[in-house]
A and B are shown apart, each in its own frame.
Chain A
């Protein structure tokens, strides 16, 4: 569709009109397209149950508000005195049984770290060997073994190292901060 070029204003406004017209047409077409699609979905019963979904969202929002309210009993924060059977449990499981690998009696809550060493798996078990030999070398080569060790024991991240270096099987659980589930 060509329009005679009768001057800038005229042609630009009819261009603008034209493009606006085309745009409007496209927009209409898209709208009817979507309407037709939704009509089919609705008539064939394929639509989702939006009321149900909204109800669910409402329930969730309510629940979250209740839980976030500090005045509520610490249900969400597991400040329980007893469980449903009326029992109380210590933070470290206290049941004692025998390790099936070595036969020693182990406290349940310490079983995994024990088993790791017992089976020779995990980083700590392997590291322990390395560290001891390294520490031995260091000790021999330098005179001030005391300062070396004290540096290690002060920093948090190397609490494992200090465990490894001490080399005693029974008392390795000072990284209790992490261990607590």
Chain B
């Protein structure tokens, strides 16, 4: 609960609540438990009598809100609740019958008590069909790993590589941060260049390669296989951070990558996201082979997974009985559908108005909301409920169980055009923030919200990972699905740079805001600020450019 405001766990009680707690503690809550009734949709209500509806003891009314006194169980309506406190001194606390919320009749306001929420949740857990979740055991497993020393890359110190020292770059152009270097377009390779620029500035990845954690020297010892994507990447990092500012040609990387991803090896425009996943896969493959491990990606310790891997949680709930089945899947990034809810619809066709008019205002937060929204699966998609033992209408909800160090958000800017029976690109503008707080999308928040935002401990709460991210790279696309252009904007020390193949230019943040984002790279806030300080002290690699002007591939 480290990132939550203190008011969450300890809301300030009113005097009456404090007085009640002093006198009665949680005993009143516990005796109320037997009257609590949980619904499959996560809501709780008070069911006093099995067959009769509750009525106000003063006016016999049953309409509007009804409150049951915690001390004497007498029921009052909202009009007469205050009367009850006047007649019976000290009977200030009641419970809203419909929503099981604490109500202070004297203050005429809803009040909150963690102990009350706890007892509500306890009853709820009892009532709900018990799921033999792998969830809980996985939750425990993840927590255990943390106790054993954590899995993060140690960033505060990177091992001093044997050869290079901490040399300041004394060249005239050193007013610009290190690591800015254009990448030559080798022929329709802007998709590769754009992703490379983002990777080159992902702090944990950058630190890993610049401190020679993987280099040709150490790599050759482990394997005779000449093809090694991490080695090539290391070559690119060394070249780009060498202090040289003439554009670099990542030819060696292209060659190796084509050998690795045969199906993508062709001279044509390709998708940057596909390249991104492919490169991470190449790193993963290489590193797991090297260590003779066959871990599944959830536990993998390769640098690609340590930096980019997160965990997604998927809950499928039976709408009849509330039984929820939970699964976890690791992910290297999150692909989001565009949230078109805020678009105005043009009259003639059934499509949202084009983005050039300002009628379409999707936001990244809106896309994330859409991603974590409960989705009612259609009646043609009934799932088998273990509890009901039949096919039932279900709803599915995604959330993020574990955030990665570097969060890559990919926008699915394509859709099937029903008219032309092919895919087409969506050019709608998408607003994205420079600072992103992922708290509302965590599993703990989503699941808590499902149960009415009760105050209770959730297995993900003790995570020490912060949820605040800062953007450091945006890959933008302009053009159509078949033919377009990728440009990356980098944010270094709060200055934005446009990386358009060989061209590096400073730009105003407004240009970035107005651009058509395709992939956004966010990093933990602390890592971002730390990286900005580190930049001035990075070792200038003494290695020559990876691609030597001579035959062979080293």
Contacts and interface: CB of A to CB of B under 8 A. Distances in A.
Contacts of B63: 25
Given A48-B440, A83-B182, A111 B187 contact: yes
B101 A40 contact: yes
Q: Which of A32, A53, A56, A61 has the most CB of B within 10 A?
A: A56
A95 B500 CA distance: 17
B267 A57 contact: no
B502 to A, nearest CB: 4
Interface string A109-121: 1111111100101
Interface string B215-236: 0000000000000000000000
Contacts of B254: 111-112, 115
A100 B112 contact: no
Contacts of B245: 85, 87
A15 interface: no
Contact of B266 (A40, A100, A122): A122
Contacts of B251: 97, 100, 108, 111, 115
B7 A64 contact: no
Contacts of B455: 44
B187 A40 contact: no
B205 to A, nearest CB: 23
A109 B497 contact: no
Interface in B502-545: 502-511, 513-515
A36 B99 contact: yes
Interface in B80-118: 96, 98-99, 101, 110, 112
A124 B267 contact: yes
Main secondary structure of the interface of A (DSSP, over half): helix
A60 interface: yes
Interface string A94-136: 0101101101000011111111100101111000000000000
Interface stretch (B25-33, B276-284, B358-366, B459-467): B358-366
Contacts of B262: 121
A76 interface: yes
Interface stretch (B311-319, B375-383, B401-409, B546-554): B546-554
A177 B428 CA distance: 25
A16 interface: no
Contacts of B64: 25, 28
Contacts of B415: none
Contacts of A122: 265-268
Q: Which of A45, A85, A97, A123 has the most CB of B within 10 A?
A: A85
A113 B549 contact: no
A78 interface: yes
A104 B538 CA distance: 36
A87 B197 CA distance: 19
Interface residues on A, range: 35 or more
B384 interface: no
A181 B176 contact: no
A63 interface: yes
B443 interface: no
B163 interface: no
B500 A78 contact: yes
Contacts of B6: 45
A39 interface: yes
Main secondary structure of the interface of B (DSSP, over half): loop
B483 A109 contact: no
B421 interface: no
Contacts of A60: 431, 513-514
Nearest to B184: A93
Contacts of B487: 78
B150 interface: no
Contacts of A97: 249, 251, 547, 549
A123 B249 CA distance: 24
B483 A178 contact: yes
Nearest to A124: B267
A59 interface: yes
B514 A76 contact: yes
A48 B363 CA distance: 14
Interface string A69-81: 0000001101010
B189 interface: yes
A57 B362 CA distance: 10
A43 B112 contact: yes
Contacts of B5: 45
Given A32-B65, A83-B182, A63 B265 contact: no
Contact of B365 (A53, A68, A80, A119): A53
Contact of A93 (B99, B180, B185): B185
A76 B511 contact: yes
A62 interface: yes
A146 interface: no
A178 B361 CA distance: 31
B186 A112 contact: yes
A76 B509 CA distance: 11
Contacts of A37: 452-453
B453 A44 contact: yes
B11 A108 contact: no
Interface string A26-37: 001100110011
A91 to B, nearest CB: 9
A31 to B, nearest CB: 11
A103 B64 CA distance: 85
B355 to A, nearest CB: 10
Contacts of B501: 89, 93, 181
B4 interface: yes
Contact of B182 (A33, A89, A121): A89
Nearest to B191: A181
Q: Which of A40, A119, A122 has the most CB of B within 10 A?
A: A40
A60 B361 CA distance: 10
Contacts of B99: 33, 36
B453 A41 contact: yes
A181 B185 contact: yes
B267 A113 contact: yes
Contact of B510 (A57, A67, A83, A114): A67
Contacts of A123: 266, 268
Contacts of B337: none
Contacts of A33: 98-99
18 contacts: A45-B6, A57-B363, A61-B358, A76-B514, A78-B505, A84-B176, A84-B180, A85-B176, A93-B185, A97-B549, A98-B550, A98-B551, A100-B547, A109-B186, A110-B187, A112-B188, A112-B189, A119-B255
Ranked nearest first, the 6 interchain pairs of A and B with the lowest CB-CB distance are: A112-B187, A122-B266, A45-B5, A63-B510, A93-B184, A63-B513
